[in-house]
Amino acid sequence: MRPRTRARRVAMYVLLTALAILFIFPMVFMVAGAFKPDALVLAEGNTIRAFWPTDASFDNFVGAFRRGRFGQLFINSAIISTAVVGLGLVVNSLMGYALARLPFRGSKLLLLAVISLMIIPLEAVAIPLLWMMSLVGLRNTYTVQILPFIANPLFIYLFYTFFLGIPRDLEEAARVDGAGPVTTFLRVSAPLAKPAYATVGILSFLFIWGQLLWPVLVTSGPDVRPLPLGISVFVTQPPISWGQIMAFAFMMTIPLLVLFIVFQRWFVQSVASSGVKG
Partner 1 sequence: MSTTDASPGPVATAEHGSDGRPGSSSRRRNLAGVAFTLPGVVLLLLFLAGPFLMALGLSFTSERLASPLPTRFVGLDNYVATFTSASFRKALGNNIWFTAIVVPVQTAMALGLAILVNQRLRGVKVYRAIYFSPVVVVMTVAATVWLLLYSPDRGLLNGILSFISFGTLQSDWLQSETMALPSIMIMSIWQGVGFQMIIILAGLQEISGDLYEAAAIDGATPWQRFSFITIPQLRNPLIFVGTVTMILSFRLFDQVWVMTRGAPLGNTNVMMLEMVNVGFEQQQIARGSAIAVIFFLIVLTLTLIQRRFLKEEVN
Residues in 78-107 at the binding interface with partner 1, rule: CB under 8 A: 91-92, 94-95, 97-99, 102-105, 107
Question: Whole-angstrom Cα distance, residue 35 to residue 51?
Answer: 11
Asked if 229 contacts 215 with a C-beta cutoff of 8 angstroms, the reply is yes
Q: What angle do CA 272, 77, 67 make, to 5 degrees?
A: 125
* Axis-axis angle for helices 264-274, 242-262 (nearest 10): 90
Question: Whole-angstrom Cα distance, residue 96 to residue 107?
Answer: 11
Q: Report the site for partner 1 in 152-171 (rule: CB under 8 A).
A: 153, 156, 168
Nearer to partner 1, 51 or 58 (CB): 51
In the complex, what is the shortest distance from the CB of residue 55 to partner 1, in angstroms, rounded to a whole number?
18
57 sits near partner 1 (criterion: CB under 8 A): no
Among candidate residues 155, 146, 144, the one with its CA nearest the CA of residue 94: 155
Asked if 247 contacts 31 with a C-beta cutoff of 8 angstroms, the reply is no
Neighbour tally for 92: CB within 10 Å: 26
In the complex, what is the shortest distance from the CB of residue 22 to partner 1, in angstroms, rounded to a whole number?
8
Number of residues that bind partner 1 (CB under 8 A): 104
In the complex, what is the shortest distance from the CB of residue 111 to partner 1, in angstroms, rounded to a whole number?
10
Asked if 224 contacts 142 with a C-beta cutoff of 8 angstroms, the reply is yes
- Residues 105-144, mask of contacts with partner 1 (x by CB under 8 A): x-x--x--xx--x-xxx-xxxxxxxxxx-x----------
Please tell me the chain's helix, strand, coil percentages from 3-state DSSP, rounded to the nearest 5: 75, 0, 25
- Residues 185-204, mask of contacts with partner 1 (x by CB under 8 A): x-------------------
Binding piece for partner 1, criterion CB under 8 A, among 9-17, 60-68, 78-86, 188-196: 9-17
In the complex, what is the shortest distance from the CB of residue 18 to partner 1, in angstroms, rounded to a whole number?
11
Nearer to partner 1, 13 or 58 (CB): 13
Binding piece for partner 1, criterion CB under 8 A, among 60-68, 78-86, 191-199, 209-217: 209-217
Phi, psi of 15 (to 5 degrees): -65, -50
46 sits near partner 1 (criterion: CB under 8 A): yes
Nearer to partner 1, 91 or 166 (CB): 91
217 sits near partner 1 (criterion: CB under 8 A): yes
Question: Whole-angstrom Cα distance, residue 259 to residue 198?
Answer: 11
In the complex, what is the shortest distance from the CB of residue 137 to partner 1, in angstroms, rounded to a whole number?
11
